[in-house]
């Protein structure tokens, strides 16, 4: 399968998993448009992507800015949402509700608002691919907020797969991945030893799942777990 001559909008596609997905989609023949709230991140991403790529700065927590962004785009085939802030673990005993709401604002409401604005521009046969996380299935102390966001994303995929049909709506559910969003000092080596695959995921591993879902025209309401077996141990 190929993404040749297809246009893909990647929100959060300027670093980590999003940028790896943009690179892989471009290798498959797609024209990619990346967006982020950080101008320097957009600039760095465009330096790594083919000359056909485009990029812009947009605050994904600002509904008016998101609406204006999509209003200015020509029709496209796929929306990919990978935007997120650095992972913050919040224990209940010291819970900061403002920080918890802020996490939901970008990862959940940002995605919901983007889909609302994007749907009129998605061409026939197109899709939406969101980002969940294995914390929804295997959590721990301090993960209540992060796990809740992932669970909300899972439910959103299933609901919108029906509401937006025939547009396909799916999600990728990464496990531990070596990206800047994980906390400084996180012990990747110890985590790798506990995984059945014996290593930590790289952004390129996860990117393959996003491209698969864009190409797989019989998949909707699907959530693809790519976690090295972390939900099993």
SS3 for 170-187, per residue?
A: EEEEECCECCCCCCCCCC
Residue 221 is classified by DSSP as S
What pLDDT digit, counting tens, does each position of 72-121 carry? 999 999 999 999 887 778 888 888 899 889 989 999 999 999 999 999 99
* CA pair distance 87, 89, nearest whole angstrom: 7
Determine the topology of domain 7-232 in CATH: Rossmann fold (3.40.50)
Q: Which of 132, 139, 148, 222 is catalytic?
A: 132
Domain boundaries, the chain: 7-232
pLDDT of residue 1: 61
Beta carbons of 79 and 129 less than 8 angstroms apart? yes
* Helix, strand, coil abundance in the chain, percent, nearest 5: 45, 20, 35
The yes-or-no answer on residue 15 being catalytic is no
How far, in whole angstroms, is CA 9 from its chain's centroid? 11
Average pLDDT for 192-217: 97
pLDDT of residue 93: 87
142 or 183: which carries more pLDDT confidence? Answer: 142
What are the start-end ranges of the E strands in 47-145? 54-57, 76-81, 122-131
pTM of the full predicted structure? 0.95
7 or 139: which carries more pLDDT confidence? Answer: 7
């Amino acid at each position: 399968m190929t993404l040749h001559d297809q246009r893909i909008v990647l929100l959060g596609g300027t670093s980590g998993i999003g940028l790896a997905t943009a690179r892989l989609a471009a290798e498959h023949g797609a024209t990619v448009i990346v967006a982020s709230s950080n101008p320097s991140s957009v600039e760095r991403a465009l330096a790594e992507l083919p000359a056909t790529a485009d990029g812009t700065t947009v605050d994904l927590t600002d509904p008016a800015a998101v609406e204006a962004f999509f209003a200015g785009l020509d029709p496209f085939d796929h929306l990919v949402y990978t935007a997120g802030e650095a992972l913050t673990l919040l224990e209940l005993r010291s819970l900061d509700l403002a920080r918890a709401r802020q996490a939901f604002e970008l990862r959940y409401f940002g995605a919901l608002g983007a889909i609302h604005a994007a749907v009129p521009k998605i061409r026939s046969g197109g899709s939406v691919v969101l980002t969940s996380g294995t914390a929804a299935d295997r959590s721990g102390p301090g993960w209540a907020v992060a796990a809740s966001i992932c669970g909300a994303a899972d439910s959103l995929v299933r609901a919108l797969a029906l509401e937006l049909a025939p547009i396909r709506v799916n999600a990728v559910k990464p496990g531990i991945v070596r990206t800047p969003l994980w906390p400084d000092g996180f012990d990747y080596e110890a985590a790798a030893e506990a995984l059945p695959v014996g290593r930590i995921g790289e952004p390129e591993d996860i990117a393959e799942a996003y491209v698969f879902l864009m190409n797989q025209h019989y998949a909707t309401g699907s959530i693809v777990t790519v976690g090295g077996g972390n939900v099993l141990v």
